[in-house]
């Protein structure tokens, strides 16, 4: 076995020098001595690929290290580890697969790439016997990948509940705390740099859903298909919904839920959800992320921190570089994803069950509630409570009804919502969200 006290230089090629890439370059240099003392590895970035050689950078990179062709990184015989931070799924897939075939260890933070094409890439990694490390793909600086792969390896994962998109959490926080409309909160998030100029991937729920697919696949040993995941965004959440939820003792969060039923079928969903105000996840505010993992041995564990940003995400990338260094020095335990046959099937999303919050804008006339309950009852759906908060109503011929729904299958709720939307007494599209009890 190599002597851990003997420094070993690990030469790294970095593809992408955007926000996270610049952080990796800066922080590897900043904490090189600390990393060397802790790991015995001298991390050295020797080549950097960028799209535009003339673009001003936040970090100074020697011109001799720069290239505008990522293939040059992989062709460099001295480069042992390739870091993919270019984003997207097409060119990034070509980069990662080319690196694996060239026997270069890969580090990536590309959640969309892994969610959409991870099965192919991990199969190739296994074929080439070269690992992929991807801690930065989920929850920024929170080391949740390592937790699932190593810390909780002895546990059957009962469930994972996560707030794993900081943009949406910031928007919902500002709506709840400052009374901002969705559009005003989104604009504020963009002004502060928490949301992109085109925020679609975040606010549609798909950024969080990509992360949920990765977590679910690691937890249950088979690759979850995107078409088996239920995804809703936050763009239809209003301040009225948040205020009604507060009166009922809940907060509203974009929540990703992953769990297996007693038949081993795995449910994965991301959507606006009512959480009990007393639960710790309901108090996670701003751009922070938090993940609750429930294991059959360890019980409930909580992981909290910044889910995005240059330094938190680069911390996870550098952690993976240290893992890559350990692999080069001591050998790898696995190539990044370990399949097994204990689960292996997604639960049809329409079969998933939950309580629901339902808000309707209806004509303020007798008989309306009867029509609503008939539409729900025809699908076997029961109502646990009905609220008509008069002090939040406008002076018009319509009124709001807020109903809390007993456990119902998603497919039945969809059918009932379609029927209710067609009622002549219903003036706006029904707003409905899942209610998470956080009991498992």
Instruction: Kindly list the catalytic residues.
Output: 211
Number of helices (H), then strands (E), in the chain = 14, 17
* Closest C-alpha among 416, 417, 439, 419 to residue 430: 417
Query: Which DSSP state fits 375?
Result: H
Burial class (CB in 10 A: 0-12, 13-18, 19+), 281: buried
Q: CA-to-CA distance for 164 and 206, rounded, in angstroms?
A: 11
* Closest C-alpha among 423, 429, 368 to residue 238: 429
Indicate the pairing of strand 250-260 with strand 157-163.
Answer: antiparallel
Query: 312 Cβ partners below 8 Å, 6+ apart?
Result: 140, 141, 305, 306
* Closest C-alpha among 436, 140, 88, 172 to residue 316: 140
Query: 191 Cβ partners below 8 Å, 6+ apart?
Result: none
Q: CA-to-CA distance for 226 and 346, rounded, in angstroms?
A: 11
Q: CA-to-CA distance for 345 and 342, rounded, in angstroms?
A: 10
Beta strands of 78-212 (E only): which ranges?
81-84, 105-108, 132-133, 157-163
CA atoms in the 13 A half-sphere facing the CB of 30: 11
Listing DSSP states for 315-337 in one string gives HHHHHHHHHHHHHHHH--S-SS-
Bridge partner list, 276: 250
Query: Residue written as tokens 């919902």?
Result: 172
Q: How many CB atoms lie within 10 A of CB 183?
A: 10
* Closest C-alpha among 432, 439, 384 to residue 412: 432
Q: CA-to-CA distance for 298 and 202, rounded, in angstroms?
A: 32
């Amino acid at each position: 076995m190599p002597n851990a006290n003997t420094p070993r230089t690990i030469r790294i090629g970095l593809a992408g020098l955007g926000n996270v890439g610049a952080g990796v370059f800066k922080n590897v240099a900043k904490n090189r001595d600390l990393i060397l003392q802790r790991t015995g590895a001298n991390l050295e970035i020797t080549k950097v690929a960028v799209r535009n050689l003339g673009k001003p950078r936040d970090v100074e990179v020697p011109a001799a290290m720069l290239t505008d062709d990522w293939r040059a990184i992989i062709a460099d015989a001295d480069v042992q580890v390739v870091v993919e931070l270019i984003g997207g799924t097409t060119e990034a897939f070509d980069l990662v697969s080319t690196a694996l075939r060239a026997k270069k260890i890969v580090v990536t933070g590309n959640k969309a790439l892994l969610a959409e094409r991870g099965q192919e890439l991990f199969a190739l990694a296994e074929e080439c016997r070269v690992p992929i490390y991807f801690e930065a793909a989920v929850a920024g600086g929170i080391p949740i990948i390592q937790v699932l792969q190593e810390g909780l390896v002895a546990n059957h994962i009962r469930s994972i509940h996560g707030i794993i998109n900081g943009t949406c959490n910031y928007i919902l926080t500002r709506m709840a705390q400052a009374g901002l409309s969705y559009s005003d909160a989104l604009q504020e998030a963009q002004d502060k740099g928490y949301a992109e100029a085109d925020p679609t991937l975040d606010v549609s729920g798909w950024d969080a859903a990509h992360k949920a697919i990765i977590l679910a696949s690691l937890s249950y040993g088979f690759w979850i298909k995107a078409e088996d995941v239920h995804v809703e965004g936050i763009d239809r959440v209003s301040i009225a919904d948040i205020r009604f939820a507060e009166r009922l003792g809940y907060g509203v969060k974009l929540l990703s839920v992953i769990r297996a039923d007693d038949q081993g079928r795995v449910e994965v969903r991301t959507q606006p959800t009512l959480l009990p105000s007393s639960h710790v996840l309901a108090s996670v505010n701003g751009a922070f992320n938090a993940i609750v993992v429930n294991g059959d041995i360890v019980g409930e564990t909580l992981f909290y921190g910044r889910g995005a940003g240059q330094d938190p995400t680069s911390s996870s990338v550098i952690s993976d570089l240290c893992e890559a260094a350990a692999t080069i020095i001591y050998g790898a335990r696995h190539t990044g994803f370990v399949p097994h046959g204990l689960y292996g099937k997604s639960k049809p999303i329409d079969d998933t069950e939950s309580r629901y919050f339902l808000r309707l804008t209806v004509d303020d006339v007798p008989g309306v509630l009867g029509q609503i309950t008939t539409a729900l009852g025809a699908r076997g759906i029961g109502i646990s409570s009905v609220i008509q908060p008069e002090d939040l109503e406008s002076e018009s011929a319509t009124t709001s009804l807020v109903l809390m729904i007993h456990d119902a299958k998603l497919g039945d709720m969809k059918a009932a919502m379609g029927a209710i939307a067609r009622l002549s007494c219903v003036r706006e599209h029904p707003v409905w969200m899942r209610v998470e009890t956080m009991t498992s």
